[in-house]
Chain A
Amino acid sequence: MLSRKTELVLGAVFLGLGLVVVFAWAPLDSETAMIETFRRQTTMGDAFLPTVAGALMVVCAIVHLIMNYRRADLFDTENPPIDGNDLAFLLQLSGITALSIALFYWAGPLAVALFAQGDGSETVTYRQMRSTYPYKLIGFVMGGFSLVFFTTALIEGRVKTIRIFSSLIVVAVLIAIFDLPLDNVLLPPNGDW
């Protein structure tokens, strides 16, 4: 149980979400209403399930609000569930993830653009090279390595040389599991090109 104030805020958030679903999102963003009558046949429309889910969420949120409004608070000293430290951590983790995904996605095409253009008579695209070593693995190796290495460094609070090797090993193991034995499997990002 969180502090009374936090629980009240949570109840209000879900109450708001439920109301939006019931009065705006479900009716306006579904082709058929809750109940549809077509050629004298009455059926359940697409809006039924989300509207009922939203309405019941509203009911539960109201009960939750009432229960927490009336409760004697034993958890006043609890920290808020997400504080500045959490946000700082999430920001750093998001940065690492975004960098790694960018490497996943762009490292291969960049390598092809730089090193696979041959005599220059014809432009070679990554799509043409995505089944060819080493281009097919460059994105995964660089993205995967940076994801594991930088995340480990973040949570350990320091950079250790040995983690370079462990990060490379895990990437190599994943390539051995997915790429070497399975012809029909595409590692990131090769399915998108």
Chain B
Amino acid sequence: MSVLDYIWAGVMAVLAGPEAFSIFGIGISITIMMVTFGFLLGIVIGATPGLGGAFVMAVSLPILISIFGYTPDALLPVMGFLIGVMKGATVGGAVPAILFNTPGTPDALMTTLDGYPMAKKGQAGKALRTAHFASASGDTFSDLVLFTTAPFLAIVVESYLGFAEKAALIILSLSFVAAVVGASPMKGLIAAFFGILVASIGTGEDLYPRLSMGTDFLANGFPLITAVLGVLILGEVIFSFEEIWRDRRSTRAASEFKQSGDNGLSWRDRRALLPYISVSAVVGTVIGALPGIGSTLAATLGYATGQKMHKGPVPFGEGTPEGVAATEAANSAVSGSNLIPVLSLGIPGNVSAVFLILAAESIGGFNPGPSVFRFSVNEVNPELVIAFGLFTTMMIGNILNWTIGGQFMRWVGIMARVPKRVLMPMVFLLTITAVYVQETDMLAVYFLLAFGLLGYVMRKIKMPILPFVIAFILAGNLETAMRQAFAVSDADPFFLFRSGTSIVFLAISVLVVIFFSRKQKQDVAMSSEVS
């Protein structure tokens, strides 16, 4: 098969896949339906303060697997849904930020700076249209960069990297994530090694499951989805419970302003915003391609860059559309490029990517990483077809975003009124139910609660969660790569230092940690982990 054949096969896997229903005799594929459903749900959830795309991705994954099963046919509908949620939540986060000064997702915090003043001036409609235009532009640009970059990067990695280099690359990624997420690189590294340690329990190649202390309940290790949902989602839920419990006596009513100003967004307005959107889209795409750096930082840098460029009559921070555009283009441009390390290296760089990897690992038949992009001519590489299918679902998401996304996001402003104190207990039950239907064992629920408590404690002691989760997911791959590298090196104790490339990767790992340890960092990065 040629490259074009693979691309076409991927497109057709989405468009002509299993049919959900038909309209006037034209079949609508189930993947398209799931992307659409995920996208709309993502906007609703993004517009709900306290929830983010990660919540939906987490709790819907076990449900979707129960519905679609563990067959390769399930990959595109399930992953398409998750991609739809990811895109929708990015757009939806701006809604409460603009209307009620409450960011729906942490990366929309900077949107409040200009979006809310615009709403106060009676220009909420214009602010929402600006946010949508910038968000859709940034997201589309980022996806195009993903489509062109990921295959080439994967081919390079697959051609030039052996087992030792791949192990060193995983170590570099973990070091990078540990160093950049959170306030202290040392705590990030401790979290990562702790994640590897926990992932080691009940696994290994011997008959006796290591570190299981001879118990039956640890003998099979911790189910991947249960552990990740526990630390990431339930930990956040318990943390939110405690925050609400502490603030339970304070009541803050969101105020509304009469909308009477200029609420349209003409082509001329859009042209004027393009320089800000372009620069922020590049900033967001670059930031998104680096593992561990969240969209919150991208939004901050995009806003700061836009502020330097701005020469208009209304300054940044006082309700200018350029401020909204600069922020939204940057945080949305993260969503495509953060899949570059996932698809080309198999390394999840953020929470959304974690759930895509979990979906692929749970369903089977698709192992994100450099081997996906093997353009085999004589036989079909089904993983490559799936990869191009995923790119197609992203483009469908973008089309939905450009067509119905703007209108839909203006309808869901009401979600910002749903109180978090009512929603969070529902998420608690939903998470428990989702894990149970996947594992059908109360032991999984007990593990979930234990990991939830761990996630809560880690948040309290300001230990970053993402390095723990990514290390937990990658521990198996790291061990396999190290075992193979050790075997092919004839048991050389310096098996990781036998090639220049792996030495460079390991040296960069150390340098990254030293660099970020010397640099005073702010705690703000913590908040970007779940949403």
Chain B interface extent, by class: 35 or more
Q: Does B20 contact A (CB under 8 A)?
A: no
Whether B210 contacts A1 by the Cβ 8 Å rule is: no
Which interface residue of B242, B426, B440, B487 has the most chain A CB atoms within 10 A? B426
Binding-face segment, B113-121, B126-134, B193-201, B400-408: B193-201
Complex partner residue of A144 from B433, B478, B486, CB under 8 angstroms:
B433
Contact partner of A188 (CB less than 8 A), chosen from B197, B445, B483, is B445
Say whether, besides A30-B210, A63-B186, A85-B246, A155 and B425 are in contact (CB < 8 Å). Answer: yes
Residues in A with CB closer than 8 Å to B461 are 2, 6, 10, 81-82
Inter-chain CB contacts under 8 Å: number = 187
A174 lies within 8 A of B430 (CB): yes
Asked whether A113 is an interface residue with its Cβ less than 8 Å from the other chain, the reply is no
Q: How far is the CB of A168 from chain B (nearest CB, A)?
A: 12
User: Given A44-B483, A50-B197, A166–B241 Cβ distance below 8 Å?
Assistant: no
A191–B436 contact, CB under 8 A? yes
Given contact pairs A57-B194, A155-B421, A44 touches B482 in the complex (Cβ within 8 A):
yes
Cross-chain contact A30 with B206 (CB below 8 angstroms): yes
Given contacts A86-B242, A155-B244, contact A50 B210 (CB under 8 A): yes
Choice from B208, B426, B445, B479 contacting A49 with Cβ under 8 Å: B479
- CB of A165 to closest CB in B, whole Å: 11
For B204, give its contact among A30, A53, A177 (CB under 8 Å): A30
Q: Does A101 contact B (CB under 8 A)?
A: yes
Summarize A's interface: helix, strand, loop or mixed.
helix
Check if A67 is an interface residue, CB within 8 A of chain B.
yes
Is the pair B429, A144 in contact by a Cβ cutoff of 8 Å?
A: yes
State the CA gap A144–B434 with chains docked (Å). 13
B491 is an interface residue with CB less than 8 A from chain A: yes
Interface set of A (CB-CB < 8 Å, partner B): 1-2, 6, 10, 14, 17-18, 21, 25-26, 29-32, 35, 42-50, 53-54, 56-57, 60-61, 63-64, 67, 81-82, 85-86, 89-90, 93, 97, 101, 104-105, 140, 144, 147-149, 151-152, 154-157, 163, 166-167, 170-171, 174, 177-178, 181-182, 184-189, 191-192
Give 10 A-B contacts (CB < 8 Å), ordered by A residue: A14-B190, A50-B197, A53-B194, A54-B193, A57-B197, A148-B425, A154-B241, A184-B66, A191-B436, A191-B439
- Add 7 more A-B contacts to A10-B187, A151-B428, A186-B437 (CB < 8 A): A26-B211, A48-B479, A57-B197, A63-B186, A166-B422, A170-B426, A187-B436
